[in-house]
């Protein structure tokens, strides 16, 4: 059975077709995901990917290639997974280190978290390009190439989005801390 027929069978709730699809495509999808994610996360994302395939097979139009469709799902699942895992607190060390400050005082840390949340929201809506880029590059610590792969854009676009995000955040933070000295640069 070719891939298109398999996916059509999956749309008809044929679980053996899903099993066959998995054995054919999971290896290369895993290899590709491994390039941007640690091993444990690859397993979770791959599982979510094939569950999404099971649920969404009826939406497949057999004109492109099955491989591209599958990779599109995997990529979306990877992005969703990263988003779910990253609370705002993770931003703090990255940002404070850049500013040369350390969250020794819990009260100061709490205050900073609130400022941070406000600054992050200045980047725009949660799945907007600026915020997503910021999160992937500075929280998840991805390289430019990895972010480009995950977001489906060119490295140049990633760099300019990251620059814009830094600019916006700096402005927001400076605005909220008039009494402190040595604002971030």
Partner 1 sequence: MTCGDDLTGGYRDAGPAPDDVDLDRVWLGVAAQVWRRQPGPAERMAGRLLRSPGLARALVTTPSLLLGWVIATVVILLAGVGFTLGTGTPWVALLAPGIAAAGIAYAYGPGIDPAWELSQSMAVSDRMVLLVRALAVFGLNAALGLAASAASGAAAAVTFGWLVPMTAVCALALAVATVTRSPNVGVAAGSAGWVIALLASQAAEGRFTAAITDSFLVLPYLAFAAGCGAVVLFATRIPRGSS
Partner 2 sequence: MNVELTELTRKFGHTQAVAGVTLQAGAGVFGLLGPNGAGKTSLLRMMATVLPPTSGTLRLLGRDPGGYGPRREIRRRLGYLPQNLGYYPGFTVYDFVEYFALLKDMPPGQVPSAVATAIEQVGLGDKARIKLRTLSGGMLRRVGIAQAIVNQPELLLLDEPTAGLDPEQRVAFRALLREFGERATVIVSTHLVEDVAAACSEVTLMDSGAIVFHGTPDELIAQGEGSGAAGDAPLERGYSAILAAARSGVAARS
Contacting residues toward partner 1, per CB under 8 A: 15, 18-19, 22, 26-32, 34, 39, 42-43, 46-47, 50-51, 54, 64-65, 67-68, 71-72, 148-149, 152, 154
Report if residue 19 touches partner 2, rule: CB under 8 A: yes
Distance in angstroms (rounded) separating the CA atoms of residues 124 and 126: 7
Identity of the residue, 21 or 165, whose beta carbon is nearer to partner 1 in the bound complex: 21
Q: Phi and psi of 125, rounded to 5°? A: -65, 160
| CB of 159 vs partner 1, minimal distance in Å | 16
Min dist CB 72 to partner 1, Å, is: 7
In the complex, the smallest distance separating the C-beta of residue 44 from partner 1, rounded to whole angstroms, is 8
43 in contact with partner 2 (CB under 8 A) = no
Q: What is the 3-state secondary structure (H, E, C) of 37-105?
A: CCHHHHHHHHHHHHHHHHHHHHHCCCCCCHHHHHHHHHHHHHHHHHHHHCCHHHHHHHHHHHHCCCCCC
**Binding partner of 58, given partner 1, partner 2, none, CB within 5-8 angstroms per partner class:** none
Least separation in angstroms between residue 85's CB and partner 2 is: 22
- Pick the stretch among 14-22, 94-102, 110-118, 128-136 that binds partner 2 (CB under 8 A): 14-22
C-alpha distances out from residue 137 to 57, 91, 106, 124, 174, Å: 32, 11, 26, 16, 22
Q: Smallest gap, in angstroms, from Cβ of residue 61 to partner 2?
A: 27
* Residue with Cβ nearer partner 1 (123 or 147): 147
HEC readout, 112-178: HHHHHHHHHHCCCCCCCHHHHHHHHHHHCCCCHHHHHHHHCCCHHHHHHHHHHHHHHHHHHHHHHCC
The smaller minimum CB distance to partner 1, of residues 1 and 171, is found at 1
Residues forming contacts to partner 2 in the complex (CB under 8 A) are: 15-16, 19
């Amino acid at each position: 059975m070719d891939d298109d027929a398999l996916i059509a069978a999956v749309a008809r709730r044929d679980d053996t077709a899903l099993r066959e699809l998995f054995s054919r495509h999971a290896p290369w999808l895993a290899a590709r995901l491994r390039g941007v994610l640690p091993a444990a996360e690859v397993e979770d994302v791959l599982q979510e990917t094939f569950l999404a395939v099971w649920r969404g097979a009826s939406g497949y139009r057999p004109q492109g290639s099955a491989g591209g469709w599958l990779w599109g799902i995997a990529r979306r699942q990877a992005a969703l997974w990263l988003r779910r895992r990253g609370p705002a607190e993770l931003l703090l060390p990255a940002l404070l280190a850049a500013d040369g400050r350390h969250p020794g005082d819990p009260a100061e840390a709490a205050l900073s978290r609130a400022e941070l949340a406000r600054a992050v929201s200045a980047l725009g809506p949660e799945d907007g390009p600026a915020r997503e880029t910021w999160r992937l590059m500075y929280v998840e610590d991805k390289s430019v190439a990895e972010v480009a792969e995950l977001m489906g854009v060119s490295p140049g676009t990633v760099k300019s989005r990251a620059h814009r995000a830094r600019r916006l955040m700096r402005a927001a933070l400076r605005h909220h801390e008039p009494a402190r000295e040595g604002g971030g640069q």
